[in-house]
Each structure stands twice: as C-alpha cells, then as structure tokens.
Chain A
C-alpha cells in the first residue's frame, strides 16, 4: 500500500518499536459495510501524549477502542494495523487479545463511577487486575505494587483506604483509582477516553497533572480522547483532529492551535471560548455526515466556505505543512473569512430597571439546606452568569427562580412583586414572564409530540386559540433560525443543537422578560455551543431579554455575560462585571477556579 510506505518513511522505522502506531485503520458498520472511521494513521512516541479531538460521533472513541483490538457491538474492524510497542494487536487471537489488554495497552473510560464495580472494594479491584495478568509473581509483590500505584496517583496508601467502596470516593478519587488500575501492569500504551469530562475544573487539573506525570515518568504512549480543546492544549504534545471518521489534521500542539490549517480545525479553534482572552466565539451551522451518508469527496466540503468542485471529487490527500504538521485539505493557505474574529460581543453594562431580585434565599432538599442566604439582582436586558462547580447550588437557585423547586425561604421578586414558590401557584403573567431552558435538550422535549405542538402548549394554556398560536409558533421558529417545516418534526429527528433551539423557541413563544438558561450548552459540541451562544446574544439584543445563564464553564462566561456571580458551597463568593471578576478576581476561590481552568492561549505562551 502506497500510503503505508510513505508513512514509514515519514515516521522513521526506529520509532516503531516503542510507542503506538496506527496504520490505515478502517472500521465499518457490520450490517451495512459503511465506514465509521477510515484511513486513520497515527503515531505516538513513548512518553508523549496525543490529543485526539473531534465532535461527538466523529469516531474518536471507536479508534481508541480499536487500539485495544476491540470493536463495539455492530462494528467490525475492516482493515489496518495497530502496533503497540512493536506488537501488532489486531491480528491476535482472542486469548492473546485478552492478555495484552491491561498489560500492554490499557484503557481509562470516561465515567469512573460506572466503570468501577460498586460491589467490590477498590483494593480488591486493583488486585484483580494484577492477578489476571499474574503481575509480580507473589501476593506480597502485588500488594506492594498497589501501594506504589496509589502513591503515584496521589491517593492514600493505607489499607483502610483500599477497603473503601467506589461510592465512598469522590469523582476525582474514583478517576485516580481508574488511572491506578490502568497503569498497574506498566503498559506501554494507554488510551484515555475523556477521563475528566464529568469532573470539576479543580479536580480535572489534578487528574491531568497525574496523567502527565505518569506518562512522562514511565515512558507510556498516551492517546487522550476529548472534545475539549483547552484540555488538549494544556496536556498533549501532539494533536490529531477527527472529522466524520477521518483525521483531517495532525501536528504538534503549538502548530495546531497557533497555525491551524484545515478549515474545520480553524472553526473549532474559533468556536472555543477561552478564559485567558475575551473573544467572540463563532459557531458553524450544519452537522457532520453520519456513516453511509458521507460524500465521496472531502466530508467537510458541505460546510466549508472554501469548498470547490475538486474538493467534492475525491477525499483530499494529506498535505505536509511542516515537519510535524499535516492536514487533509487542498485549500491550505487560502483562508476564508468566516473563521476570523468578528465584532466584539455587545457588552453594554446596562443600568436598566431591576427585573428579578433574589433576596436572602436559602433552599434545600428534604430538610438539608444546600443554598445559604443568596441575593442576586438581574437588570433589564442584562445577562447574569451564575457559575460554580457541581454541588455549588447554582441550579437550585435557578430552579427556585423558575418555580421548579419549592423548598426555599426568602423572597424572589419579579418587577418588585414577590413570586410564589411553585410555578403552578404563580399567576399566568408571572409564569410566562420567566421561562426556563433546560440543560439537556434530549430530555426537555416530549419525544411523542411534534416540535410545533411542544412550542404551542404555553400559548394554549394561556387561552390563545389554535390558529393564532400556529402563526406565533412559526414566528418564533424563525427567531431561532429553524425553518417552518420543523414544526411538524419530532424531537428524535433533530440534532442536539436543533433541539436546544426548539427548547429556546418554546421559552420565547410566551414573550418572557427573563430567560433562565441552565447549562444550556453543556451537552453540545463546541461548534454548536458557539452557535447557540450567538443566538442567545442576538435574541437578547433584539428582544431586550434579561438572561440568567447558569454554567460551570468559566471561559464561556466571558463570551456571553455582562455580570457574573460565582457560587461555592451554596453561597455567593463574588459578584461583579464579568470582565473584572475574571480578569482581576478578588476572592481566593475565584482565583483558584480561574487558574485551574485550562486555556489554549495560556498554554501557547
């Protein structure tokens, strides 16, 4: 195979025996033979970390699992070679595959809570890994190894700690146990599949540090799968960007983020909010084609502003940009204008009337208080971001404002008038005045109802006739940039971003004064997130909406909010204009949060 030969020349044969090498890998949907990933070539030298980035569905996890010579049900490995420290793993028989997993190549899954067996003590689980691979020879040697591993992942080594069950550990500690397990048998290659996605930034910082330490110290080649560019910039040495099952660009971190060549990479970088710099994030419409629907030419061509006829004819070859940087694009150097930064965000620190006032609100669940004495002010036309780590009480506050949480004391005023606690007790005007947009667009729309019917419900309840509501539904679909035909679709026919637009449309249809957005972008890919943030910004400007934007994503705050309130352990720690809070935090907690947040700009310095 021609491309394989040139690749061998490119990477040099002497490096083959150490790290990880993937050659011309292809995986198919077993039933149809359509490609899930194709033409994947990657090389990771020992001691280095390669960040594999891409949107959900781009095939990054599929590649990661293939390194363990595993394919999910319904997926088959069509062809390709994968060398882990010189051993080709795809051709091994079932027994040999089982042996190399954990010993030669190991895997750290995304959710530590579900990957550890809740019924077994962590010591037992760690021992299991060593026993399966007959590591160390004797039980004493294994016990010593466990202690050594626990120390390396910065966990206590005493026997009492090892006797704990997974649920007795925090999320960060669970993930460290996962890391200890993965590194236990001293593998040569490790696949990390979004290991920090569910963690808070400060916990994430520690886990990333541990990963970096372990890979460097033990000369392990690490494949780090993530959708978070900032984490990659912070952690990885090299980056490979995947789009629709193919690697479209790869190179060293500084090259990729400093000088992205492929239009898709440029869009990704442009869409990622950054804590270190105030930037306008730019989204991109459309979605990546799924297996079986990919065009013959470049799969990014339908969304690419540079696409020409030649792009649609054949998949573009890899073009070398520098020694450590290549991209699969024939238009490199011919930059479009879309990815460049446009006008700065509208950040009029308005002095409008107070629309919502939260006064000394404490809230809890069945007797336990989780929010203590919180006071907030939201002015007309303003966007206030409520940020904090998980468990800080930010969602509870927002749900209390939205009338979805009843157990609270204190007062919440809408235009100076106190609100009742539950939405059902509130007057129609109060209810329509505050609209709530939920975090997960997959759960917030009734799957058995058309988009149009879902949007029309608030109107019908308010007593507006069916025909009148119809025109308002179409009007509001237009406002969120969805075509009229979408009114007749069901939620499962839409992508995540489209569903979130529908959810926003449903909130807008009753002409609210306030929109409470609860982590509305956290379930979305970065390009979609940027588009939604852009939409919310425009709606705010056009309709004069006030917005409470609840998020754990500090970088995003910079791109959307005028004011920010930082919450920790149920209390407001710091409030102020977002530029000054993030640029010059006054509280230690906020400062820690900001330093722990990975940043592309900071990493490139």
Chain B
C-alpha cells in the first residue's frame, strides 16, 4: 500500500497560549493596563517621590503647602510621597506570599490527585483544617500572638492561601491523572516525581494561571487590610493600607490621604481581577472547544 501521507497539507495551526488568547479580550487588556500602571507606581514610586516617606514637611492636614502637590497628612508628611512609597511593601509581600502558596498548594494538590487513596485523604483533610479558619482571622490571630513582622505576614498569608490553591489544582489534576498518557509514562518507568511534575503539571497550567491571579489579588487585599488594622512591622511605615487608617479621621480636610491609596488598591484589585477573569473565560472556552467570548 502506498502510505505517503498527504495529511500534512491539512494540519491546522496550533492555537496560541492561554495568555495570548486572553489578551484578545477587552477586559484582559484593561486589566493589564491597570495592573501595569499600579505596579509601576508601586515599584518606581520611591525613586521619584519628592520627599522621604517619613519626612516632616509642614503643618499636618494642610492642602496648600508650597512644594507639595497634594498637601500634608495627619503627621505633617507629604501625601504624594507617602503614596508613592506605600505600594512597594504590599506588592512585594503579596507576590512572595502568593508564590509560597502557589508552590505549596500546587505540590500538595498534584500529589493528592496522583496518589489518591490514603495520601489524598490525609493531605486534603489537613488542608481542610486550615481552610476552616477565615483567612483574615487566621492572620490576625497569628500576628497578634507573635507580633507583626514581614516574614510572619508572608508565611501566614502564604500558608492560608495554600489549601485554596491545592483544592483547585487537585480538582483539575484528577481528570488528567485518569488519562492514558499517565499510564503510558508509568509503563515506561517514569519516576513518580517526573510523572507529577512533567506529565500532570503542564496540563493544569490553565487552572493554575487563573488561580494564581485570583490569589495575588486576594493577597494584596489581605495584606492591605492587615496594615489598615495596624499590623505593619514599623508603626509609621508608608503603606497604602495604613495610610487609609491614619488619614480617615481627617477625610474632610485632607481627602487625598484616603482617596489616593484607596483608588490604588481598588484599581490594582480590579486590574488583576480582570486579567484573572479573562484567563478563566478563555480557559473555559478552551475546555469547551470554543473561542471564549
């Protein structure tokens, strides 16, 4: 029989990756613009701030102070400078905490899904215990017991995020684990570690990407909330969450001290939220074989 294959002519283009597909949606584009803007402000802010983060400038709560754009806050510090300084810590803490949560959660979720049985039960029930405490409450208890330090904030936020990620990853990995290519990998003698990380993991990246985004958004909110409640390592550090708390009493005289950080946090959360939404829409579309929106 002549088996020259003409099929090559009909081979379709490979669809672009999840993120590139999501970028075609308007909501993702807006999300990317917002997040980039806020991340830039948070990271570059300290370098362009006209004053230091805790520098005394003029009378507290004054709007028209020469040399400042938006006046001074409750402590006589420049509002704009504190705003420019205040995002970096939150962002860095949130990224590190989320990374810890993602790494642990993914590993535990994949392991539970692959091993099933007893190990699955042990891992997931242990995580359920953590999950049963509300995230804010858990962080508050731990931090009020040991005192606020950046490491502790990272750890509590990261660890309280872990079970949520583990559940999602386990859920999508269970379907993958049942597929034949996993058996095929086992049949050729792949190690368990390799099966989990190089066969299963690449097939749950859609879920992972969506979840990562969502958890980053929540972590930013959580860390800002903790700061609002006064849980920051340095009492007078420039921090958006803390700024809202400090300046809310003088809202009528110096509204910028509250408006700026609130807007920043809101836009950052909306931005990352929109990206996450775009990603999940596209990944749901991929699952259905459709084209998303």
Contact = CB atoms under 8 A, between A and B. Distances in A.
A423 B2 contact: no
30 contacts: A285-B2, A285-B4, A287-B7, A302-B9, A404-B183, A423-B186, A424-B189, A428-B189, A431-B187, A431-B188, A435-B187, A436-B183, A439-B180, A440-B180, A444-B180, A446-B185, A457-B185, A481-B4, A481-B5, A493-B12, A493-B14, A494-B11, A495-B7, A498-B5, A498-B7, A510-B188, A531-B1, A531-B3, A534-B3, A535-B3
A264 B9 CA distance: 19
Interface in B146-204: 179-181, 183-190, 199, 202-203
A419 B15 CA distance: 43
A443 B179 contact: yes
Contacts of A498: 5, 7
Contacts of A454: 181
Interface string B199-217: 1001101000000000000
A481 B186 CA distance: 27
Contacts of A461: 188-190
Given A282-B1, A498-B5, 14 more contacts: A302-B6, A431-B189, A445-B181, A446-B199, A449-B202, A457-B185, A457-B188, A481-B5, A482-B5, A485-B8, A493-B12, A494-B7, A531-B1, A531-B3
Interface string A418-446: 00000110101001100110111001111
Interface residues of B, number: 30
Give the interface centre of A302, A402, A439, A457 by most chain B CB atoms within 10 Å.
Answer: A457
Contacts of B187: 402-404, 423, 431, 435-436
Contacts of B188: 423, 431-432, 457-458, 461, 510
Interface of B: 1-12, 14-15, 179-181, 183-190, 199, 202-203, 205, 290
Interface string A254-288: 00000000000000000000000000001101110
Interface string A486-511: 00011011110110000100100010
A565 B199 CA distance: 35
A435 B187 CA distance: 8
A410 interface: no
Given A423-B187, A436-B184, A286 B5 contact: yes
Interface in A284-298: 285-287, 289-290, 293
Contacts of A289: 10
Contact of A423 (B7, B9, B181, B189): B189
B7 A448 contact: no
A489 B7 CA distance: 13
Q: 9 tightest CB-CB pairs across the interface, nearest first? A: A448-B202, A444-B180, A438-B180, A443-B180, A481-B3, A286-B6, A458-B188, A443-B179, A446-B181
A483 interface: yes
A118 interface: no
A285 B7 contact: yes
B6 A443 contact: no
Contacts of A426: 189
